[in-house]
């Protein structure tokens, strides 16, 4: 019995030793395999450094932060504002135009004014709109002010004209009390005749809520300059062309757009849009909105000149904007604004909007981008020339209220 136990103990001990040797050899074998694989594998690549373009865009976005318009300033300048989160409706406040001086002559032989008589135009001394009844016919009537000849006309809400008269106007600017288009004296009869009176689509004061606005929901980064061209329709000014360029001037997006309402005037002299351009257009406003939101994100910085007009016709809500009207304010303060033509000629030595074929959205967008880059470069050079202890703060965004005061 004792012999059996001794043999059994020897067998268990032998099995234990054998098992320990086998496990050690297997572990050593696996270690040799891993070492060979590690030696034969290619060395791990270090993370690639950011490209010069990425570094440039990051630095540019940082430099533009002081020039981003605040929500308050955007509202004062007439930008569309979202009335509630995740809404397609927007409102905007349009500053009334400066009051024009009235030149009147008094007629001592004029009949006495009696309210309600034939001598009462029903609009008051300053052309105010009289109270209207609640009938369906008058409720459907809308009063507009022609942006070309300053005459009041009436339309239905569906865009049908109730005032049948031609529009006689001057398309040139007033220089030394003469119109640049024909050199006629101020307040003379218009040199151009239009078939219809036209309006801008907005009125002084509160506008909206207006449907159809969109907003980016994702973060995409980037800095782009944007410009649009418009034409007059029964609904006011509508989008006819849009161009977007990157910080290096590369064209990112450009297309003609078919307006949704009846076209009244192509405004070719200023927009450069001709009938054949829109006859071939296949994009709608909704198509353009979808295209733009493919590369414009919540943190994308959009540059423009009087950019509120572009965002209105695009029906695009965006909060990260830089406006060259604010970056290069008028010497006489708000609401006066310098034109893109004068800014480009003075600071870039480049003449834009000179073509007889009209404006170019692409040319204007590139001029805006170059003006902004020039401003950023000058501010950076100014900071580097001065000792850190004597550096002045960055130029702050243009505040219309401060400038007006």
What does the pLDDT look like over 297-344, one tens digit per residue? Answer: 999 999 999 999 999 999 999 999 999 999 999 988 888 899 999 999
Whether residue 235 contacts residue 201, with contact meaning beta carbons closer than 8 Å, is answered with yes
Rounded Cα distance between 337 and 71, Å, is 20
Asked whether residue 220 falls in the same domain as residue 295, the answer is yes
Residue 119 pLDDT grade (very low, low, confident, very high; cuts 50, 70, 90): very low
Asked whether residue 195 falls in the same domain as residue 315, the answer is no
Q: What pLDDT was estimated at residue 4?
A: 44
Residue 37 pLDDT grade (very low, low, confident, very high; cuts 50, 70, 90): low
Asked whether residue 385 falls in the same domain as residue 255, the answer is yes
Asked whether residue 195 falls in the same domain as residue 224, the answer is no
Tokens matching residue 333: 């303060």
Helix (H, G, I), strand (E, B) or coil at 65: helix
Residue 289 pLDDT grade (very low, low, confident, very high; cuts 50, 70, 90): very high
Asked whether residue 151 falls in the same domain as residue 287, the answer is no
Instruction: Say yes or no to pLDDT of 133 above 80.
Output: no
Give CA separation, 296 vs 220, 238, 286, 302, 317, in Å: 6, 21, 15, 9, 11
17 domain-assigned: no
Q: Which of 349, 230, 329, 225 is nearest to 339 (CA)?
A: 329
Lowest mean pLDDT among 82-86, 118-122, 178-182, 349-353: 118-122
CATH number of the domain bearing residue 62:
3.30.420.10
What's the structural domain count of the chain?
2
12 domain-assigned: no
149 domain-assigned: yes
* pLDDT, greater one: 215 or 125: 215
Rounded Cα distance between 110 and 211, Å, is 49
Alpha helices, DSSP H only, in 41-83? 52-64, 71-76
Q: Which of 163, 160, 124 is nearest to 140 (CA)?
A: 160
283 domain-assigned: yes
Asked whether residue 259 falls in the same domain as residue 233, the answer is yes
Asked whether residue 170 falls in the same domain as residue 247, the answer is no
Asked whether residue 255 falls in the same domain as residue 357, the answer is yes
**Residues spanned by the domain of 165:** 136-203
The pTM score is 0.74
Mean residue pLDDT across the chain = 79
Asked whether residue 197 falls in the same domain as residue 219, the answer is no
Asked whether residue 198 falls in the same domain as residue 221, the answer is no
157 domain-assigned: yes
22 domain-assigned: no
Percent of the chain, pLDDT > 90? Answer: 52
């Amino acid at each position: 019995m004792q012999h059996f136990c001794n043999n059994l103990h020897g067998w268990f001990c032998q099995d234990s030793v054998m098992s320990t040797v086998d496990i050690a050899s297997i572990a050593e074998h696996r270690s040799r395999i891993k070492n060979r694989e590690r030696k034969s594998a290619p060395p791990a690549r270090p993370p690639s450094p950011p490209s010069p373009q990425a570094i440039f865009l990051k630095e540019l976005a940082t430099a533009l932060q002081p020039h981003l318009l605040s929500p308050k300033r955007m509202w004062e300048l007439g930008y569309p504002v979202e009335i509630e989160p995740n809404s397609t409706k927007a409102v905007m406040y349009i500053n009334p135009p400066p009051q024009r001086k009235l030149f009147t002559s008094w007629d001592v032989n004029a009949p006495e004014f009696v309210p309600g008589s034939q001598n009462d135009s029903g609009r008051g001394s300053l052309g105010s709109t009289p109270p209207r009844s609640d009938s369906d016919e008058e409720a459907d009537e809308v009063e507009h002010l022609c942006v070309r000849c300053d005459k009041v006309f009436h339309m239905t809400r569906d865009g049908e004209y109730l005032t049948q008269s031609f529009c006689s106007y001057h398309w040139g600017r007033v220089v030394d009390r003469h119109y640049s288009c024909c050199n006629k004296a101020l307040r003379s009869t218009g040199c151009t005749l239009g078939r219809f009176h036209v309006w801008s689509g907005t009125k002084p004061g509160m506008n909206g809520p207006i449907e159809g606005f969109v907003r980016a929901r994702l973060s995409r980064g980037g800095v782009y300059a944007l410009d649009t061209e418009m034409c007059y329709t029964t609904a006011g000014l509508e989008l006819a062309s849009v161009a977007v360029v990157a910080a290096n001037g590369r064209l990112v997006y450009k297309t003609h757009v078919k307006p949704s309402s009846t076209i009244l005037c192509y405004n070719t002299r200023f927009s450069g849009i001709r009938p054949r351009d829109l006859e071939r257009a296949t994009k709608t406003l909704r198509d353009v909105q979808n295209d733009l939101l493919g590369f414009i994100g919540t943190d994308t910085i959009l540059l423009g000149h009087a950019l509120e007009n572009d965002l209105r016709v695009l029906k695009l809500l965006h909060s990260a904007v830089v406006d060259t009207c604010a970056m290069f304010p008028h010497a006489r303060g708000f609401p006066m604004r310098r034109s893109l033509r004068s800014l480009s000629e003075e600071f870039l030595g480049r003449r834009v909007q000179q073509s007889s074929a009209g404006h170019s959205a692409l040319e204007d967008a590139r001029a805006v981008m170059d003006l902004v880059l020039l401003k950023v470069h000058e501010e950076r050079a100014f900071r580097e020339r001065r000792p850190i202890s004597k550096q002045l703060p960055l130029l702050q965004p243009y505040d219309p209220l401060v400038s007006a005061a």
